[in-house]
Amino acid sequence: MAQYKKGATLSWRDLWIHLGLIKDNAGRWYPGDDTPQPIAEYCYQYRSPSRAWPLSYAKPLLTTKFAKWLTRELPELAIKLGVADDGL
């Protein structure tokens, strides 16, 4: 079972390389075709990005709350991204 690393969060680089988020010409971040479905659904609980709020999907993914959620829901990915240990 994966164990969350206290204080660990994702980086901006993780969002586009490992989570598949994409950025449009106006700087709005959205889940892309490569984004795992549970992560896309996590994003959709927040307001849709707009020109005034282009980071409304991306910023929540940089929090410890999301890192803990990722450890529970997608432990293999959390370990790969360094926010969790394998607990052994």
Check residue 88 and give its pLDDT. Answer: 66
* Environment class of 37 (CB within 10 Å of its CB; exposed 0-12, middle 13-18, buried 19+): exposed
Check residue 87 and give its pLDDT. Answer: 73
pTM of the model: 0.92
Question: What are the angstrom distances between the C-alpha of 7 and each of 4, 32, 44, 49, 82?
Answer: 9, 27, 24, 27, 11
Check residue 68 and give its pLDDT. Answer: 97
Check residue 1 and give its pLDDT. Answer: 84
Q: Averaged over 32-47, what is the pLDDT?
A: 96
Q: How many CB atoms lie within 10 A of CB 69?
A: 18
Q: Averaged over 1-18, what is the pLDDT?
A: 94
End-to-end C-alpha distance for the chain, whole angstroms = 8
Q: What is the CA radius of gyration of the chain?
A: 13
